Amino acid sequence: MDYHILDLRSVVNYVTSRPEAAARLDLTSSLEAQEVSDGNLNAVFRVREVGGARSVLIKQGLPYLRVAGEGWPLSRERADFEARSLARQHAAAPGLVPEPYWHDHDMAVNAMEDLHLHAVIRAPLIAGVRLETLGETIGAFLAATLYGSSDFALGGVARTRLAAQFQNVELCELTEALVLTEPFYPPPNRNTYLPALQGALDDLQADAPLLTRVAALKHRFMTCGQALLHGDLHTGSVMASPPDARGHSDIRVIDSEFAFFGPMGFDLGLFLANLLLCAHAQAGHAPDTAERAGRRAYLRRQMRACWETFEGQFRERSQGAISASWREPGFMDDFLVSVLRDAGGYAGCELIRRTAGFAHVLDFDSVEPETLRVQVGRRNLALGRALIHGASGLEHYDDFDALAWSDVLKEDA
């Protein structure tokens, strides 16, 4: 089928035309579509049986950035990278991503399990919903996917061959520009920010040692292909079901189109930073001081659980590493410290770009009134700087925890 942009009507015909759909839907019944797109890049539809129980999720790459329109062209190859990475994640971490159903290169479509009971976790976290296994689940996802695609598990030949399938140049270039360059330099750029943050941003952009560290982080992002990363692991890329009778939610990672071989700490740093962005924004979202402190304590616990689960499971897996080199005493300790340092640095960049770059987050943008948003923005920028400066001195997660939380805990004391 030649490429055409799907809409509510044509997506039903499209699904009916696919042989793989018969295993997922009753194609003799009538089907209906609903658009659920809410991300920056793609069109997403749910196609379900009218009056039936089953549905599929159809995600289509448009020839441009969805939120910007045709003025920001983007190739459709991102759908191929999402298909390849989702297949690998599903094999490495079954149950932690949607099940892939089919990939259609010509139509830039990925069809997958429709998590129709789940919700993206960003808004619930802002509202104070507590998913007690969030950190542990994301840590386990990262240990499985990052270790499983590393030299430690695969050996150099297989890892290099796999990396060759993930030359995701276009979306990497987007991250290099939007996360690791533009927020740190004056115009021309695509930054948007509150005018009252201009002074804090000027200071940041004049901090020469900071710019040197960011340049090093950017260079590592571009050259250090340690493992197959998710590449965009923020809280908009995680969905959770309502809790069952025992309070347990099913948690899944979605949206891996930015996948590429990069430094493992990038995925960890982005996720940790998004929990910090939520914690800072509680200044404007929590109804009272005790609730705010409780929500922040919860987020802090999830961050620790994420790192500790990742580290513990990564170490465990590395006992069976393919080469004796990787099992040398001390090697894995040093390696994991380097991942923690990278995570600290990338977390700092994420805090800054989500506050003063092109793509913000709801947590921060929805803080009212604006005067309070300015205070939260200053805190995001200050912590971003502190993390980038302090990352190279991190030895243990406790060091990261102290750096990340010392300022915000004073507010709750």
Residues that bind ligand ADP (CB under 6 A): 36-42, 44, 57, 59, 66, 98, 112-115, 120, 254-255, 257
Q: Is 82 in the site for Mg ion (CB under 5 A)?
A: no
With respect to ligand SR1, which residue has the nearer C-beta, 151 or 182? 182
Q: Which does 120 bind (CB under 5 to 8 A by kind): Mg ion, ligand SR1, ligand ADP, none?
A: ligand ADP
E strands in 29-186? 31-35, 42-49, 55-61, 64-65, 69-73, 100-104, 109-113, 119-120
| Residue 60: burial class (beta carbons within 10 Å; 0-12, 13-18, 19+) | buried
Candidates 114, 255, 311, 363: give the one binding Mg ion (CB under 5 A).
255
Tokens 């109804």 sit on residue = 287
Instruction: Strand 251-253: give its sheet, edge to edge.
Output: 119-120, 238-240, 251-253
Task: Find the shortest distance in angstroms from Cβ 255 to Mg ion.
Answer: 4
Residue type, 346: Y
Shortest CA distance to 174 belongs to which of 302, 63, 78? 78
Tell me the site size for ligand SR1, rule CB under 6 A: 7
String of contacts with ligand SR1 for each residue 64-93, x by CB under 6 A:
-x----------------------------
Task: Find the shortest distance in angstroms from Cβ 49 to ligand ADP.
Answer: 16
Bond prior to 188 in cis (omega within 30° of 0): yes
| Nearest residue to ligand ADP on Cβ basis | 39
Report the half-sphere exposure of 287 (CA within 13 A, side-chain side): 2
Judge whether 197 and 242 are in contact, CB under 8 Å.
no
**3-class DSSP assignment, residue 32:** strand
Task: Find the shortest distance in angstroms from Cβ 58 to ligand SR1.
Answer: 19
Q: Is 362 in the site for ligand SR1 (CB under 6 A)?
A: no
| Residue 166: burial class (beta carbons within 10 Å; 0-12, 13-18, 19+) | buried
Task: Find the shortest distance in angstroms from Cβ 244 to ligand SR1.
Answer: 30
Task: Find the shortest distance in angstroms from Cβ 156 to ligand ADP.
Answer: 32
With respect to ligand SR1, which residue has the nearer C-beta, 322 or 359? 359
Q: Is 39 in the site for Mg ion (CB under 5 A)?
A: yes
Report d(CA 372, CA 272) in Å as an integer.
Answer: 23
Residues in the chain: 413
Q: Is 232 in the site for ligand SR1 (CB under 6 A)?
A: yes
Residue type, 387: L
Candidates 41, 142, 179, 306: give the one binding Mg ion (CB under 5 A).
41
Q: Which does 305 bind (CB under 5 to 8 A by kind): ligand ADP, ligand SR1, Mg ion, none?
A: none
Candidates 40, 165, 189, 241: give the one binding ligand SR1 (CB under 6 A).
40
Separation of CA 212 from chain center = 25
3-state helix/strand/coil string of 255-282: CCCCCEEECCHHHHHHHHHHHHHHHHHH
Letter string b/e over residues 311-320, b meaning 16 or more CB atoms within 10 A of that residue's CB: bebbeebbee
Give the tokens for residue 380. 């995001």
With respect to ligand ADP, which residue has the nearer C-beta, 150 or 256? 256
Q: Is 359 in the site for ligand SR1 (CB under 6 A)?
A: yes
Q: Which does 83 bind (CB under 5 to 8 A by kind): ligand SR1, Mg ion, ligand ADP, none?
A: none
Q: What are phi and psi of 308, to 5 degrees?
A: -65, -35
Task: Find the shortest distance in angstroms from Cβ 312 to ligand SR1.
Answer: 28
Task: Find the shortest distance in angstroms from Cβ 174 to ligand ADP.
Answer: 12
With respect to Mg ion, which residue has the nearer C-beta, 88 or 373? 88
Give the tokens for residue 361. 């987050």
Q: Which of residues 153-192 bind ligand SR1 (CB under 6 A)?
A: 174-175, 178
Contact positions toward Mg ion, by CB under 5 A?
39, 41, 255
Contact positions toward ligand SR1, by CB under 6 A?
40, 65, 174-175, 178, 232, 359
